[in-house]
Structure 1
Amino acid sequence: MTANTSDTANNTANAGSQNWADLIDERLGHIREQGRWREYRELDLFGPRGHRVSRFGARLPALSFASNDYLGLSTHPELRAAAKDAIDRWGTGTGASRLVTGNRPVHLQLEAAIANWKSTQAAVVFPTGFAANLGVLTALGTADVTIVSDSLNHASIIDGARLSRADVEVVSHGDFAALEQAVQQAHGPVLVVTDTVFSMDGDALDVQAVATVCRRHGAALVLDEAHGVLGPNPTNEDLGGIEVVRVGTLSKALGSLGGFVACSQRVADLLVNTARSSIFTTGLSPADSAAALAAVNIVNSPEGDELRSTLRKHVDRLRPGHPSPIIPIILGGEAEAVRSADRLLEQGLVVPAIRPPTVAPGTSRLRVTLSAAHTEAEVDRLLVALDALGISP
C-alpha cells in the first residue's frame, strides 16, 4: 500500500513537472514565432567605448549609443575613488535591511545631499529606481486612494500602481483634458503619477500643466525624473501648493546604482515605516552610495554645467531642440528595426532595436541615447552610418 501510494505521488509529480516544462517551452516558442526573442549581449565597455564579444567568442570594437550614462559619470575618477574608499571602510555590502543593521553614514550623507539638490525636506534612498517607485506607490496608494497614471509611464510605475491597493485610472499619454476628467471624477484622495521624460520616446512632459490640474483638485503629484538630465525639473516651490514627491535614479545620469525619493519629511517617514521595497531588502551597497554622493556633488558644480552643455550640443547635432538625450528613430516594422540595428553593429555601433511589447506594434525603432562622454567625432560617425542606411535621425 505504501509503495503504491509513493509511486502514485511520484507519477503525479513527474506529470506536473512535465506540464510546467511544456508550458514554458510553449511560451518560449511563441516568443520566437513572433520574432521577439531576446538575449543578453556580452559587452566589455569602459564608458561608451570598448569591445563586444560575438557569439563565436571574437572581441570586436564597440561604441555604445545605448547607455543611460548621460553625463559619463560612471567612469569619472571621483566616483571610482569614492567607491574604492567606501569598500575599504565598510566592505562590499551592508548585510541587512537599513532598519536592522544596514544603515551606514554614507546613506545619510547621500540623502541629505539629494534633499539639498532637489530642494526638499528629506530624501530616502532605495536599492534601485524600480524599487523607489514600488515603495512610493504602495505606501501612498491605500484602498481609499485613486492613482491616475499616464499610459506611457515606466514599467516600475505600472507595477507599483498594480501592487498598491488603490483604484488605478490610466489616461492617454499627454492628454491633459483626460487627466483633468480622471482627477475630477475620482473618489477620495488622488495621486497623479507621471514620468517627466518618457523613456522610449524621449519626450518631455509639461510638468507645470500637470501641477495646475493637481492644484485645482487637491491631488498629490509623483514625478519620476529618472531621465530628466536636461529638464524639465521645476522645484517644489515652482509647483507650489501641492504635495510633490520626486522619484529619481542613481544609475543613469549619476553613473552609480540605486534610486531615491525626494519629498517632505512626513512622506519620508511614511516610506521608512511602510515601503516594503525598502524594509524587506538589503541596504544599498557602500560603494554605490559613495559613488552616487560624489556624482550629486559633481552635478551641482560648474563641471556638471559643462557636462550638461556638452550633452545638449550632442543632442542638437542629431535632433535640434529635442528635450532629452533619448532619440527614437521610428522605423515601424520589427524586422526592419532589427536589421538596421544589426547593420550598425557590424560597423561597431551599438544602437538597440526596440520592439513590442516594449513599444506599441508598428512603432519599432532604433533608440539612440547620447552621453557627454561621446566626442563630436563619435556623434558624427553615428550620423554618417545612419545616413548610409537611408535613416534620418
Structure 2
Amino acid sequence: MHDFHQQLDELARQSLLRTRRTVSSAQGPLLTVEARPYLSFCSNDYLGLANHPAITAAAVTALGQYGMGAAASALISGHSAAHETLERALAEFTGLPAALGFGSGYMANMGVIGALVGAGDTVVVDRLSHASLIDGARLSGASLKVFPHNDTQRLDHVLARCGSGRKLVVTDAVFSMDGDQAPLSELAEICARHGAWLLVDDAHGFGVLGPQGRGSLAHAGVRAPHVLCMGTLGKAAGVAGAFVAGERDLLAWIMQRARTYMFSTAHPPALAAAATASLAVIAADEWRRTHLRALVAQLRKGLAGLSWQLLPSQTPIQPLIIGDNARARALMQQLREQGIWVPAICPPTVPRMTARLRISLSALHTQEQVAQLIEALVQAEQVAA
C-alpha cells in the first residue's frame, strides 16, 4: 500500500501543505475564525452579497415552497420552476439567447468542453487558465494545445496549423491568480477567422465588470454566435452554482451531452431563487462597483512603493508577489497575528517562485480597513528588510 506519510512530510518541508481553518460567522469583511475575529481579504464575495438580506429572504421563501433538495437530475425531475426562472433571468442579464445552469463552475467547464469536442478535435488553452478548463480539455479526448498567456499572435498561429475536426479556444476572462483580463475582442475575432468556438470563463468578471455588472463579454463589447460565456454564482453573486450562456442550439446540444449536467442532481431550488434575487441587486447597486474601483485604486497607490511586486490588475484580485513559499506563508502568518487574513498562494496553483499574497477586495470593505492592510504590509516589508 502506498505510503503517503512521507509525501505529506515533503509537502510540509516545502511549505506546500494545505490546511483548513473553520469559519464560524457569516461571510463578510469581518470573519470569526476559530474563535478569533479577523479582517478578511480572502473571499471572492466581490460585491458583498453573500449575506445580503434580500437574497437570503428569497432563499427562505423558496425553501417553504420547494423544500431543500432537488432530489433528481435536471433531466429527470430536478428542474424546478425556480431553475427555469433563473436560466431565463441569466440569459436576459448577459444579453445572450439562452442559459443553462450547473452545480458549479468546475462542473460547467468540464461538461461544456466534453460536450463540444472529443477525439479528432482540438482544444487550445491559455497557459494561465483555471484548472477546470485544463482538466476539461484533458478529459475530453481532444488534442490539447497551450498558448502563452494572452499571446493572441501565438493563438492565431496555433489555430492556423490545426487540421480537421472542431476547434475550441478556452480562457479565463479575469485570471484568478493574476487579476488581469483576457483580450476578448481579439480572441473572438481570431476564433471567428479560424472557425473556432470560444469558451470564456467569467467566474471573476461576472457581476463586477460591464454595464450593470453584466460581465466581461459586455465589458469588451463581444457578442457572437461562436462565443460562450461560463459564469459562476458563488463569487460576486454571493450564492452558489454556475451557468453557461450562448446560442440556443449550442446550449440545447450541451444539455444533451454534458455529463456533469446529465448525471448530477440539480442544485437546490432555493439557491436558484436566491441567485435570481442576486441578479436584481447586482444590476441595481452600481455603488458597489464604484466603491470597489475606488478601493482598488487606494490599495494600488498605498502599495506602490513596496519592493514586492503588485501585479498590474484593475480588478478586485490584487496579487502581491513574494517569491519564496516559506516567506509568503510567514508573511501570511504575520498578518494573521495582527488580525488580518490574506491567503498565501503557492505552487502548484501558481508557477514556482511566484508564491504570493492574493488580496481580494469587497464592496463592503471600508477605506479605513484597506488603509489598515496597507499599513500592515508596509510595516512587514520594513521588518523583512
Counterpart of 2:81 in structure 1 is 105
For 1:239 and 1:89, locate their aligned partners in 2 and report how far apart those are by CA, in whole Å: 38
1:355 is aligned, of 320, 332, 346, to 346
Whether 1:220 and 2:197 are equivalent positions in the alignment is yes
Contact 1:110 1:292 in 2 (8 A): yes
Map 1:81-96 to 2 at 5 A: 81-96=57-72
Aligned-partner SS, 2:73: coil
1:267 is aligned, of 250, 269, 272, to 250
Whether 1:180 and 2:164 are equivalent positions in the alignment is no
Question: Cα deviation per residue 1:135-189 (whole Å; 9 max; x = unaligned)?
Answer: 1101001223211100100011011101102111011111112111111111232
2:378 is aligned, of 349, 370, 387, to 387
2:132 is aligned, of 149, 153, 156, to 156
For 1:374 and 1:220, locate their aligned partners in 2 and report how far apart those are by CA, in whole Å: 38
1:310 is aligned, of 291, 303, 315, to 291
Aligned residues: 365
Deviation at 1:242, TM superposition (A): 4.7
Question: Cα deviation per residue 1:69-105 (whole Å; 9 max; x = unaligned)?
Answer: 0000011111100011111111111011011111110
For 1:123 and 1:329, locate their aligned partners in 2 and report how far apart those are by CA, in whole Å: 36
Q: Which stretch shows the higher mean deviation, 101-110 or 208-217?
A: 208-217
Counterpart of 1:276 in structure 2 is 259
Counterpart of 1:144 in structure 2 is 120
CA 1:230 to 1:241, structure 2 compared with 1: closer, same or farther past 3 Å?
A: closer
Question: Cα deviation per residue 1:176-232 (whole Å; 9 max; x = unaligned)?
Answer: 121111111112321111001100010111111111211221211110011012357
Question: Cα deviation per residue 1:332-390 (whole Å; 9 max; x = unaligned)?
Answer: 11111001000100111110011111111110110000000111111111111111112
Counterpart of 2:307 in structure 1 is none
Deviation at 1:291, TM superposition (A): 1.1
CA 1:382 to 1:241, structure 2 compared with 1: closer, same or farther past 3 Å?
A: closer
Q: Which stretch shows the higher mean deviation, 165-174 or 123-132?
A: 165-174
Q: Which stretch shows the higher mean deviation, 314-323 or 182-191?
A: 314-323
For 1:126 and 1:31, locate their aligned partners in 2 and report how far apart those are by CA, in whole Å: 33
Contact 1:119 1:236 in 2 (8 A): no
Counterpart of 1:255 in structure 2 is 238
What is the one-letter code of the residue matched to 2:77?
Answer: T
Counterpart of 1:332 in structure 2 is 323
TM-score normalised per structure 2: 0.91
For 1:220 and 1:239, locate their aligned partners in 2 and report how far apart those are by CA, in whole Å: 13
Contact 1:214 1:242 in 2 (8 A): no
Identity, in percent, stands at 41
Q: Which stretch shows the higher mean deviation, 36-45 or 117-126?
A: 36-45
For 1:322 and 1:92, locate their aligned partners in 2 and report how far apart those are by CA, in whole Å: 39
Whether 1:378 and 2:378 are equivalent positions in the alignment is no
Deviation at 1:29, TM superposition (A): 2.7
Whether 1:286 and 2:269 are equivalent positions in the alignment is yes
Counterpart of 2:209 in structure 1 is 230
Counterpart of 2:31 in structure 1 is 50
For 1:144 and 1:287, locate their aligned partners in 2 and report how far apart those are by CA, in whole Å: 41
Whether 1:202 and 2:179 are equivalent positions in the alignment is yes
